[in-house]
Every structure is written in C-alpha cells, then in structure tokens.
Amino acid sequence: MIAETTTYIDNQDALIDFVSILSRAEACAIDTEFVWERTYSPALGLIQIATESQIGLIDPLAVSDLSVLRPILEDPSIVKVFHAAGMDIPILRDSVGCIPSPVFDSQIAAAFLGIGSQVSYSFLVDHYLDVTLEKSETITDWVRRPLTDKQIKYAAEDVHYLIRVYGKLISELEGRGRLEWAEEEFLGLINPDKYSDTDPAELFWNVKRAGSLPGRDLVILREMTIWRDKEARRRDLRPQFIIRDEALVDIAKSRPASTQRLSSIRGVGDRVLARYGHTLIELVNKGVNAPDDQWPTPRPRKRISPLKAAASDLAWASIVSRAVEAEIAPDLLATKSELKNLVEVYPELNGSKFRMMTGWRKEIIGEQVLQVMAGELAVGVHPKTGVFFVKSST
C-alpha cells in the first residue's frame, strides 16, 4: 500500500510546484517508463520521482518543459536513486538536458553486498521489505493515453519502495565499509562518455559478420551504414527496420551493379528495392571506387590459445572463490574478458590498464590473481560444498 501523496503531473505549473518539494529532499527515487520497439530512440512515457512523503508521476506528453527538473538532477546535495540506471540516465539526459548527479544504483549496491549480480527491483523489494510486487504492467504501452489505474499504481510502486530500499542498502554498505566502493562505481554511471553516440563512420563495426569482410567490402559496408543511420534518424525507426544487417553484408560482398542484381539478394524485398534500390546501388559504386587509402583496416580476430584460456579460467575460479568469501558479486571484481586481456600480456602488466589491479579491487583480488598466475597459490574445489577455494601451492 502506498501511503504518500501521489500526484499525476500533467501541466507545467504542477511540475514547478513539485520541483519546489523536491528541492527540500536529501534523496529522491527516480524511474522512467518508455516504449522502444520500432523507434530510433526510446519514446518516453512517464517520469516517476519519489521522496519519503511525495510521489510525482510526470507526464512528458503533457508537460511543456521538462528542463525545470534540471536543478534537482544537478543538485549535489540531493542523491538521485535508481535501480539499473543504464537506460534511465540517457533518457533523462535527452529529455531534461543533463546527466543526474550524484546517483545511487540499488542494483549495483546489492552486488556489493553479495545479494547477487543484476538482481531485479522486485527481488530487492521482497528481500528488504517483504513485499511482493505485481508484474502485470512490465510490458505495456506507456505512451498511450489515458494511462490505466493499474499502470499508475505500477509506476508509483517503482519509486515508492525504491526510496525505502535505498535506506536499507545505505545502512548495510556503511556497516560493512563498502559505501565508498559503491560510490566509486556509481561515478561510472554519470560519465558522459558512457552515453556518447558512436561516430557514424564507425557504426559498420557493429554490423553482424562485419569482421569477416576484407577492406574493399568494408568500405562499401561503411557507406551503407552511414546512410542507414541517417535515414533511420530521419524516419525515427530502428536501423534494422530500414534494412537488416544481414542484407547489408551480403550486398557488400556481392557488390551488385544493378537493381535487378540487388533484388536477388536475400533480405532485399520489394519494399526495400522500391524505396532504396537506386540509393543502395549508388552507395555500392561509391565504395567500389574509393581509393585504397580510404579502406578500413580489417580487425584481426582475437584468438586466445588453449593454454592461456585455461589460465584465464583458473584466475576466474580464484576470483569466484574470493567473491564468495567476501560476499560480493564476482562481476564487480573483474570480468572474464578482462582476465583474458590480462593473461595475454602477463607478466608484462601495466596495472593501470586493469580495474582489478587498482583501488579496492587490488586489495581484494588483484594480488591474489597475480599469485595464482605465478603458481604461488593453488585453486581447488571443496569436497563437500563444491565452492572453489585458494590455498598456498607450497
């Protein structure tokens, strides 16, 4: 049951009044609801913000200027609390005009407490508050009006309980001396580089199977992906709804010189051919005629030797063992990809390149990983629990 005052904000004056309330808070929980199925960018449907006593459900389709929220989002004395903020932050940046700071992410905080990696909001609400949330509105049309009573209840609960879970998490992090660790991790969420758009001229590297193409085909693919992104933005469609990756790769490989030849390529249907056929042929010709010095250099595929892969797995086992002991999610300490990169350059390490070799991570697992790699520690399996353990190899 939600006890706070819940206000549906659908005009500018009401939003300004709510901002005044928020300005007196020490922390506020924030969530967004959006639809992202066919559009180029997410279509924002609702912004929910809660303090200990107030909930505001802000209708971005009715309010004329969301930038009045900016002083709240940028106020250093107000903590902005999210759960899994990776989507909410860029949406707020685009709709309000700034990246919120400082932030607290309950999903990351839970990982620092050993509750789990990427745990759900409903799990945390049940874990800390013994409340079971309904999931009936997890997939719904948030830009359709009017919103139903169920949608409004669901949206309000997303922030009502979050502000309370925040208090529990803060208390536990402080009690275990891990609040500073978590705050260091939160800083990565507000780094503008994390949300910067990819250079259109580099988008082709994200196309499936692009790595299998030689330089001449890559330059054709590059021209087509630059065009596709521009067209997708213009029509507000996801690029795959313009033409699919698979078709672009096949066009780049076959280099059709006519729309008739283009029509034989899988994925180029009548709709694509009628709307974009001549454009695609022009882009192919542009790529074919590009001088050699404009060709992208194919990226070599990273292949790790079986022995180095085994060493990486051994190091990962030691990290899992330490994570269980320290009650912290292993992925917070290091990733398997990071370990593979470390194994590739070992023993010539530049410590600053690897997160596990700096700050609090170095204290927990950095030195241990190096000792395992050097054969100074052995990794085993406990005969009863099955949990990995690390012991001296001597």
Domain boundaries of the chain, sorted by first residue = 5-195, 200-294, 306-392
Does the annotation mark 154 as catalytic? yes
**Active-site position among 105, 137, 157, 158:** 158
Does the annotation mark 325 as catalytic? no
Instruction: Tell me which residue of 83, 100, 101, 80 sits closest to 91, measured CA to CA.
Output: 100
N residues, the chain:
394
Q: For residue 90, what are its two tokens?
A: 């860029």
Q: For residue 79, what are its two tokens?
A: 């903590």
**Active-site position among 88, 157, 223, 338:** 88
Does the annotation mark 40 as catalytic? no
Residue 349 amino acid letter? L
Q: For residue 162, what are its two tokens?
A: 């979050």
Q: pTM of the entire structure? A: 0.91
Longest pairwise C-alpha distance within the chain: 72
pLDDT one-digit tens code per residue, 248-284: 999 999 999 999 999 999 999 999 999 999 999 999 9
Calculate the alpha carbon distances from 29 to 92, 183, 186, 193 in Å. Answer: 13, 16, 15, 24
- 306-392 has which fold? DNA polymerase; domain 1 (1.10.150)
CATH of domain 200-294: 1.10.150.80
Does the annotation mark 161 as catalytic? no
| Mean pLDDT comparison of 282-286, 298-302, 307-311, 344-348, highest-scoring range | 282-286
Q: How far is it, in rounded angstroms, from Cα 278 to Cα 259?
A: 7
Asked whether this chain's domains 5-195 and 200-294 adopt the same fold, the reply is no
pLDDT one-digit tens code per residue, 146-189: 999 999 999 999 999 999 999 999 999 999 999 999 999 999 99
Q: Class for domain 5-195, per CATH?
A: alpha beta
* Local structure of residue 148 (DSSP, 8 states): P
pLDDT at 137 over 80: no
Does the annotation mark 31 as catalytic? yes
